[in-house]
Amino acid sequence: MNNRTKDYMQRSISEALEYCSATGVKRLSLIIPATITTDEVEILFSDKRISELYLPPPTDLGLDAPGSTERIKKYANWLNYVPPYEMPACIARANSTPVVLANRSDISTNILLQSALRGKWVIICRSGQDFLPVNLLAALLWQFASKILEAVQKEPDESVLKRVYSISFRQAPLRRFWKKIFRRGENSSRGPKFDSSDEPDFATLMNTAKSLEPYDPVPRRIIHVSEGLGPGGAERQIVETLRGLKQYGFHDLQFVGLFLETAANLKFHAASLEQFNISCQEPTRRSIFSKANGPHTLALLDQLNTLPDDFEKDVLTLAALFRVQKPEIIHAWQDAANLKVGLAATIAGAQKIILSCRSMNPTRFHFYRSYQRSAYRALASNPNVIILHNSEIGAKSYAEWLQLPVEDMQIVRNGFDREFFRPTQSVDAIRRILEIDVGVPVVGSVFRLVEEKRPYLWLAVAAEVLKCLPHCLFVIVGEGPMRDEILSRVKTLGLTKNFRFPGASHDIAGLLSIMDIVLLTSRVEGLPNVLIEAQMMGVPVVSSNVGGVSEAILQTESDCLVDSEEPKMFADPIVRMLTNCNDYDSESIAVKRFAEKRFSKDRMIAETLAIYDIG
């Protein structure tokens, strides 16, 4: 955590405790959505007002040190500070009041609802400069209202339900009724937002933003923006792109991560950029706007105030950064950052804005918000905005969702630099670390342990393979909120000796090099890096036929694309390749040639520069 973030958290903790003392809360459970040190944990527990503490594992915990885990866990409970912000099984004791130190509405809502289910009556959230109690019934009504809105927003514009919704909300009495029922009432209007029952008017907001004066860009200055550089496929492509641009003679490059310093594990790939002297930073929270900026600005601020709290804050922060830095190209990655960056760049006056989508449209994912469709459509109306995809099927998915011509979507497939994508350890060394004997066949993969990757199906396929090849071993590289339950399931199945879980790793090439087959069972995918990288290492793949998978792999007669959810349909081609050396060798040679030709770094950078249209 940087000094600025640390000071903010310390101030927030102090203000939360002062609020509780002033309002008569004597025993509280403190929830800290950021990492602190073990010494700071112990200091907090010397405060008699705190009964329990919830936070991510401290950065200096030293889990390998004997007894360290037991020592610190007598004080604290671990909070998984990644979506969907899962909480421990028991959030707090019956006589304590949870306190949330966050502005983010999704954290507040999930914690609040889980607290409600466990019989807690009140939760205190940070809202702007204040801490305020939130009525649980009101929060549950908000959640119910957001579900209604999500269902309505998924309907096509010409549907009866969507037309009724639009007409209804033009009627002032109906709008007042909705707010009275689903909000907290006028006496608590300063309370924290959860999910807005009013769809922000992005079209009007964009029109106002486009009327602001553009800036004169600094030639060849390029800023890439995402939430962070966590251990994911999209983040690896950010690194590949920026390093490739550097090698092509672009030296004024920056990466901006909205939560690079404040969220756990979002600096995972930062060192890969810093070794190329590409700066990585989290933006300073500030705004370029004030009442002195004129009527356009006042109108804009008024409209921005209708956005969710965290959205508005990040838009103003990024707009300030862009206005100061004046980049020629602003390139955003993934839905969460795309909308904020697109709006902020328009406000700042940027003249070339790239929004890079990495999978299928967001309605398939837990992070989907009903306003995303109207926001993307509004951004698409800006001639300075280019919506970019890494697969044809992904472009088609967004075009259908947004009701825009697919021809408006640009495509640049992933690319990899073979010079850097090399093992850092030998095959023998990695097998020795993972306790895998020479000659033992290995089926593996690299993915986040989340629902859309269908890890339970992955385990079922492994069990099916073991019926024919009982000596086979399985390696899953990656972390995620489902890790503990997957480990438990492996133990329940009696397969612990056949599985290895090395966690997240920088040496993806090395871990792929020990695998004989890479297996992916995802429910939804864009253009999965792991399949491309595996083939570059000469490792054949077997995958569910979803999203852009068919564009990512060499389609031979090996049945490597599976349209079924039946584990045996995945297991059969795996067993066949592992038991037929001739089939395996020819497949290995073919997939390596395919991947190196189709997904080269040079092709990706050339296509990216063509879209940038930069001198």
Domains of the chain: 3-188 (no CATH), 204-415+604-612 (3.40.50.2000), 427-599 (3.40.50.2000)
Distance in angstroms (rounded) separating the CA atoms of residues 54 and 34: 10
Q: What is the pLDDT of residue 192?
A: 34
Contacts of 492 (CB under 8 A, 6+ apart): none
Res. 425: pLDDT tops 70: yes
Considering only residues 502 and 583, tell me which one the structure prediction assigns the higher pLDDT: 502
Res. 146: pLDDT tops 50: yes
Q: What is the pLDDT of residue 495?
A: 95
Where do the DSSP E strands lie in 487-577? 499-500, 517-520, 541-544, 561-562
Q: Which band of pLDDT confidence, cut at 50, 70 and 90, is reported for residue 229?
A: very high
The residue behind tokens 């890790």 is: 483
Q: What is the pLDDT of residue 17?
A: 77
Q: What is the pLDDT of residue 142?
A: 59
- Percent over 90 (pLDDT), the chain: 45
Contacts of 74 (CB under 8 A, 6+ apart): none
Q: Ranked by mean pLDDT, which of 431-445, 553-567, 582-596 comes out on top? A: 431-445
Average pLDDT, the chain: 79
Least confident of 56-65, 183-192, 398-407, 456-465: 183-192
Alpha helices, H only, 2-135: 3-22, 38-44, 68-73, 105-117
Rounded to an integer, the average pLDDT of 278-287 is: 82
Nearest alpha-carbon partner for 31 in 101, 107, 118: 101
Considering only residues 140 and 567, tell me which one the structure prediction assigns the higher pLDDT: 567
The residue behind tokens 């993934």 is: 334
Rounded to an integer, the average pLDDT of 569-577 is: 94
Q: What is the pLDDT of residue 86?
A: 45
Helices (H) and strands (E) in the chain, counts: 24, 19
Least confident of 177-186, 236-245, 328-337: 177-186
Q: Which band of pLDDT confidence, cut at 50, 70 and 90, is reported for residue 88?
A: very low
Q: Which band of pLDDT confidence, cut at 50, 70 and 90, is reported for residue 583?
A: confident
What is the phi/psi pair of residue 411, to 5°?
A: -130, 125
Q: What is the pLDDT of residue 365?
A: 75
Rounded to an integer, the average pLDDT of 316-330 is: 93
Least confident of 171-185, 311-325, 518-532, 570-584: 171-185
Considering only residues 235 and 13, tell me which one the structure prediction assigns the higher pLDDT: 235
Angle at 597 between CA 594 and CA 600, to 5 degrees: 125
Tokens of 98: 């949870």
Least confident of 113-122, 210-219, 505-514, 564-573: 113-122
Rounded to an integer, the average pLDDT of 451-468 is: 94
Q: What is the pLDDT of residue 168?
A: 65
Determine the residue type at 516: D
Q: What is the pLDDT of residue 176?
A: 57
Res. 396: pLDDT tops 70: yes
Q: What is the pLDDT of residue 264?
A: 66
Least confident of 37-46, 75-84, 237-246, 255-264: 75-84
Res. 415: pLDDT tops 60: yes
Rounded to an integer, the average pLDDT of 114-138 is: 54
Q: What is the pLDDT of residue 261?
A: 82
Res. 110: pLDDT tops 80: no
Res. 530: pLDDT tops 70: yes
Considering only residues 239 and 120, tell me which one the structure prediction assigns the higher pLDDT: 239
- Percent over 70 (pLDDT), the chain: 71
Q: What is the pLDDT of residue 98?
A: 59
Q: Are 372 and 362 in contact (CB under 8 A)?
A: yes
Considering only residues 225 and 417, tell me which one the structure prediction assigns the higher pLDDT: 225
Query: Cα 466 to chain center, whole Å?
Result: 34
